[in-house]
Chains A and B, each alone.
Chain A
Amino acid sequence: MARITASVFTSHVPAIGAAIDLGKTHEPYWQPLFKGYEPSKQWLKDNKPDVIFLVYNDHATAFSLELIPTFAIGTAARYQPADEGWGPRPVPPVIGHPELSAHIAQSVIQDDFDLTIVNKMDVDHGLTVPLSLMCGQPDGPNPAWPCPVIPFAVNVVQYPVPSGRRCFALGQAIRRAVESFDQDLNVQIWGTGGMSHQLQGARAGLINREWDNAWLDKLIDDPAAAAATPHIDYVREAGSEGIELVMWLIARGAMADVAGGAKPTLRHRFYHVPASNTAVGHVILENNA
């Protein structure tokens, strides 16, 4: 049986990807941020999953305004890093897990979540920056990410985005789907985006450290309360793009305690301001069998 062993939560700021790609990680501006991910890289080496289910959002890259799926699951065998206007990031293609993807798609749709199925798409920084942060930049003669990845894209570009409550319930359905897959697989679920940031208008640059940390406390200890956060609270308190945090609730909903199991162990928690325009938050939770 496949099982979800851990969840990882992280921001996915494009400037972080650029800092890695241009070799700037040791510059004074970036050094404190990357230091916060050192324990995470070690943790991932020690706890290498068979598959990562990666919840992220597309930033007007694979999806223009022609098509705006609320929840889209990638079922392809591979995904190319997208050209977002500066050329593609110099990172390896993302290898998928079509069998598990197809299984999750079928199971979750039958569980009343109407997913869009995507057999061809490029993936942008929303997906590749978390991989770079957690895995380091793959190198060597045949650079590759450490394991297959299932991209799961959530619309957070056009309002209304799905509610926190809906995302939290979807996470629970994803957990049931993974556990009904016969193959013995260690699956991690990652929720990305956030934390407080606003990229537009006279209020651009908004950061709300107190709100972010209070929300992180809830995410860890009382996720149902975090899931009850209304949209307007994210917008008002954490900035118009802070609403990306609903994606973290999908990953949190997939943890064992939500289904009546033991509480997860907090392996790592990190918070840093700024990365370009954004507050960076990061948490690792391990399930206890």
Chain B
Amino acid sequence: MALDKPYLDVPGTTIFDAEQSRKGYWLNQFCMSLMKAENREKFKADERAYLDAWPMSEEQKQGVLTRDLNRCIAAGGNIYFLAKIGATDGKSFQYMAATMTGMTQDEYMAMMLGGGRRIDGNRVLGENGDAQPQNQPQGKAHRKDA
């Protein structure tokens, strides 16, 4: 019998459950390796070669190389692990969070200062909040009327 996963209908959200964890094991362990300064240097010197030393899928490697965190998460990445890539790049967590929404860092920061993203319309897939798939990517630059 399949496991009950009541969280699959939350928009813009991937729960890092046992299945995602299994899928993302090497991707996350690669991220963990960036906790060491000498590994960060090796990675920065030749990202592709460093990644090729890990038994990761090509999709996972491309996610890392393009710094597409949503792609990494879909491939089993967990944000606490992926944050170590941003730290290696010298980027703030807010920058990383903004990239996952399509907003600029300034737009994202303004949203947070305004009280954060609203819950209304963002509880269940099928509503029309700003985190719903039909409203991606977010941010002024992507608006059709812009």
In whole Å, how far is A164's beta carbon from the nearest beta carbon of chain B? 15
Say yes or no for B131: interface residue by CB 8 A criterion.
yes
**Is the CB–CB distance between B10 and A65 below 8 Å?**
no
Q: Nearest A residue to B108 by beta-carbon distance?
A: A205
Q: 20 more A-B contacts (CB under 8 A) besides A60-B83, A157-B78, A231-B7?
A: A14-B93, A15-B93, A61-B35, A64-B32, A65-B21, A65-B28, A65-B29, A85-B83, A198-B117, A201-B70, A201-B73, A202-B137, A203-B10, A204-B12, A205-B101, A205-B116, A206-B116, A208-B119, A239-B13, A276-B112
Count A-B pairs with CB separation below 8 Å.
Answer: 146
Complexed CA–CA distance, A209 and B32 (Å): 33
Interface residues of A in 197-229 (CB under 8 A from B): 198-209, 211
Interface residues of B in 20-72 (CB under 8 A from A): 21, 25, 28-29, 31-32, 34-35, 69-70
In whole Å, how far is B48's beta carbon from the nearest beta carbon of chain A? 21
In whole Å, how far is A235's beta carbon from the nearest beta carbon of chain B? 5
Q: Nearest B residue to A82 by beta-carbon distance?
A: B35
Q: Which residues of A are found within 8 Å of B97, using beta-carbon distances?
A: 199-200, 204-205, 277
Q: How many residues of B contact A (CB 8 A)?
A: 54
Q: Which residues of B are found within 8 Å of A59, using beta-carbon distances?
A: 80
B-binding residues in A (CB < 8 A) = 14-15, 59-61, 64-66, 83-86, 157-160, 196, 198-209, 211, 231-232, 235-237, 239-240, 273-274, 276-277, 279
Q: Nearest B residue to A240 by beta-carbon distance?
A: B13
In whole Å, how far is A244's beta carbon from the nearest beta carbon of chain B? 11
**Is the CB–CB distance between B93 and A277 below 8 Å?**
yes
**Is the CB–CB distance between B32 and A86 below 8 Å?**
no
**Is the CB–CB distance between A203 and B28 below 8 Å?**
no
CB contact under 8 A between A203 and B122, given known A60-B81, A85-B88: yes
In whole Å, how far is B24's beta carbon from the nearest beta carbon of chain A? 8
Complexed CA–CA distance, A134 and B77 (Å): 33
**Is the CB–CB distance between A64 and B29 below 8 Å?**
yes
Q: Which residues of A are found within 8 Å of B32, using beta-carbon distances?
A: 60, 64-65
Complexed CA–CA distance, A202 and B100 (Å): 6
Interface centre among B81, B88, B93, B124, by most chain A C-beta atoms within 10 angstroms, is B93
CB contact under 8 A between A276 and B79, given known A202-B12, A202-B133, A232-B6: no
**Is the CB–CB distance between A237 and B79 below 8 Å?**
no
**Is the CB–CB distance between B11 and A158 below 8 Å?**
no
In whole Å, how far is B70's beta carbon from the nearest beta carbon of chain A? 6
Complexed CA–CA distance, A157 and B20 (Å): 12
Say yes or no for B87: interface residue by CB 8 A criterion.
yes
Complexed CA–CA distance, A83 and B12 (Å): 31
- B93-106 CB contact bits vs A (8 Å, 1 = yes)? 11001101110000
**Is the CB–CB distance between B14 and A200 below 8 Å?**
yes
In whole Å, how far is A155's beta carbon from the nearest beta carbon of chain B? 11
Q: Which residues of B are found within 8 Å of A231, using beta-carbon distances?
A: 7
Q: Which residues of B are found within 8 Å of A207, using beta-carbon distances?
A: 112, 115-117, 119
